[in-house]
Structure 1
Amino acid sequence: MTTSLLALVRGHNAVADYLCWPGELDFTRTEHVEPVHLANGLTLEPFAGDGAGGTYFFCGEGGEGRPILFADSEGGAALIAVGLPELLRLLLAAPWWRDCPNCTAEESEEAAAEYLEDEPALLAAREAVAATLGLSYPTAAEALARLHVTATGIGREFDLIHTPEGTAYRMLIG
């Protein structure tokens, strides 16, 4: 029997800690700040949060290969990956993706410099996490290009709606 990637991450403290920071993927926080739904009618399953009140949702029915939407606590959302492996590759390659709303190399280089200044051991920790998960990952530029394609392509079909008011969240990527 194969262990799910989610179970592997949750069951390995060093991996979960790295994903929590710098990845901002905290598996202990799964409640979103307000009631939301998808305009396309697919179900939302929160599975993680970030330190600023954002939430990661699996969209639709199924397993870890489902699309993943991120919603922040300020009314922004974007489909950021298709499947948990893609999300983890993004977080390994560019944990600073939130600082790159246009997904440009310039944004990434600036954000990476800030992260590495604050966390000089980040790259070594990333290698250990990737090895534990058995995942290879792209360059930051490649990961951000994939993020942009996902968010602005198929992601257009995943409009997040604030349920009480019926208003759509704004696009985080674009």
Structure 2
Amino acid sequence: MKSLITAIREHDEVARLLAWPGDFDLDLGEHGEEVHLASGAALEGFAGDGAGGTFFFCGEGGEERPVLYADSEGGAALVAVGLPELLRLLLVVPWWRDCRALTVAESGELAAEYLEDMPDLPTRRDRAAAALGLALPTEGEALARLREAALGVGKDFVLVFTPEGEPYDPLFEG
């Protein structure tokens, strides 16, 4: 079975949609500062965003590994358990970084702004999901999974700024 990273690289339309509005680019996997996980588990940057944030795989394995996101302002959170879950989040709720309360109401307000600028977003999202072989969750389901990753499972994934030994701040409050 082909990896999702390979599939993204092979589908220009998917890569463009993930780049915007998803703000996810496989060519931006280098983090701007030295970091490590407090647990000592492996950390592998594999994608980034336009503002200097980085998506990391945590631990050993492949695309099923937990995914931690670190922004350029010293905030971090586990955002998905596996690349398929991350891609579902990016396709359904690409504005997740601005959805601090992780509610459907808040997300709906943000969605309206995006849809005003990109009325074809649902159609493009559905084509990208089909190209990647992903079934998409509802907005509520995607936010619930993000909440569980960031505030549940994510407690065990603390990113540390290595030179100072200081942990990053949580992106979401429980």
How far apart are the structure 1 equivalents of 2:2 and 2:138?
27
How far apart are the structure 1 equivalents of 2:121 and 2:87?
15
Moved over 4 A (4+): none
How far apart are the structure 1 equivalents of 2:62 and 2:41?
14
How far apart are the structure 2 equivalents of 1:142 and 1:10?
27
Aligned to 1:144: 143
Establish whether residue 89 from structure 1 lines up as the match of residue 88 from structure 2.
Answer: yes
Establish whether residue 118 from structure 1 lines up as the match of residue 117 from structure 2.
Answer: yes
AA in 2 matched with 1:124: T
Aligned to 1:30: 29
AA in 2 matched with 1:142: E
Aligned residues of 1:69 and 1:80 also touching (Cα < 8 A): yes
How far apart are the structure 1 equivalents of 2:113 and 2:87?
21
**Number of matched pairs:** 173
- Any idea what SS the aligned residue of 2:36 has? strand
Identity score, percent: 61
Establish whether residue 6 from structure 1 lines up as the match of residue 5 from structure 2.
Answer: yes
| Offset at residue 76 of structure 1 (A) | 0.4
How far apart are the structure 1 equivalents of 2:83 and 2:137?
15
Establish whether residue 79 from structure 1 lines up as the match of residue 75 from structure 2.
Answer: no
Aligned residues of 1:8 and 1:133 also touching (Cα < 8 A): yes
Task: List gaps (5 residues or longer) in structure 1.
Answer: none
How far apart are the structure 2 equivalents of 1:48 and 1:84?
11
* 1:146-165 map, 5 Å: 146-165=145-164
Aligned to 1:68: 67
Aligned to 1:109: 108
Task: List gaps (5 residues or longer) in structure 2.
Answer: none
Deviation track 1:113-134 (CA, whole Å, cap 9, x = no partner) reads 1111111111111011011111
Aligned to 2:132: 133
